[in-house]
Amino acid sequence: MNKDQGTRGWVKDCSTRRTLHVMGCTVVLCFSLGYFWSMSNYTWQETPVKIFNTVRKIYSKPQILRPPNRTHLLENLLEIELPRMIYAKPQVLKPPRNDVLMMTPWFAPIVWEGTYNLDILNEQFRQRNVTVGLTVFAIKKYVVFLKTFLETAEMYFMVGHKVNYYIFTDRPQEVPKVELKEGRNVVVLQVQNYSRWQEISMRRMEMINHFSKKQFINEVDYLVCVDVDMRFNDLVGVEILSNLFGTLHPGFYGAERQSFTYERHPASQAYVPHDEGDFYYAGGFFGGTIKEVYKLSKKCHEAIMVDKDKRIEAIWQEESHLNKYFVYHKPTKILSPEYVWDDNMGRPEILRKRRFLAVPKNHAAIRNK
């Protein structure tokens, strides 16, 4: 290649680069003019703010670890505001009772007369619009106790609150007609009977568990499970309600654990060792939220069926399994013997109220009939 050819090639290359440069600048200039023309609608004071907001909106980084905004969940929370009330001031240094235990080591209150204000509690539960279910088993001749049970319940049980009476019976035609207050209903649940009263007793957990899932969960907030051969003798109200509650057995509330009639056969699912246990609970009065009663009845029923397959029957049937459950699943509230009492045991001074009393009866004439 000669000298002239090299010069012409260099000149040609420079010309090409200059042309590309000019074209690029022209494109940038056009884009800039278009942008500033579009911005002409803004005032110079608004422009920096609007540009910042636009950039922030477009380029804001998604927060992978930040939970979604759930403030809407707080907007629907029920606000409980008590009306003006006149009542005695609580005395921090003067407990209302010093003759009985009022609190367990796991901070579950023990309900005695004189330890609560029912007016305050009633207002709280009314604002929550609570409905309470009360279950009883009136199998075979036990149906004869229903009339007294329902009549006294209408006088003393959950006064001023909505109640569903769930009657488990094999004789629905014999369920008595009782006048009920507004918001209270009798619901008859027909079930089969069994030849032995012990079998009927053990099957209660199965039926409570089944209907808790099938029906109760859609109809009530709390479930109270009691014996039918009893009568209400004084107010039994919302002071008893909690996630899970049991009742101190009237025969053992002052006894040491070695005296408790727990199931002591190690092969039984209800077995409780001699060095375990807090209280002995009555099988005839327990309850809680539907969720907790469902878990309790499911666990007890499954344990009863395991024992049955081994031809083992706990000493006090479902009461033994209930006590085993409460050893390892502590109740959140405990009811004093005021809530299950038998006048044949006298009237000790600590018992200021006898709220739920055993009805005198001839067991031999009632059972297995």
The tokens describing 237, both together, are 């109200």
Show the CA angle centred on residue 104, arms to residues 100 and 107, nearest 5°: 130
Give 132's strand partners. 163, 222
199 flagged as catalytic: no
Relative to beta strand 285-289, strand 162-169 is: unpaired
Catalytic residue among 206, 263, 313, 319: 319
Residue 304's nearest CA partner among 209, 206, 183, 168 is 206
What is the DSSP secondary-structure string of 329-365? S--SEEE-GGGSB-GGG---TT-----EEEPP--HHH
Relative to beta strand 285-289, strand 244-247 is: antiparallel
What's the number of CA atoms in the CB half-sphere (13 Å) around residue 66? 5
Tokens 């009893």 sit at which residue? Answer: 230
Asked if 355 contacts 236 with a C-beta cutoff of 8 angstroms, the reply is: yes
What is the DSSP secondary-structure string of 298-322? HHHHHHHHHHHHTT---TTHHHHHH
Name residues whose C-beta falls within 8 Å of residue 327's C-beta, 6 or more positions apart in sequence: 272, 276, 277, 278
- What length is written for the chain? 369
SS3 149: helix
Q: Name the DSSP letter for residue 142.
A: G
> Which residues form the catalytic set?
319
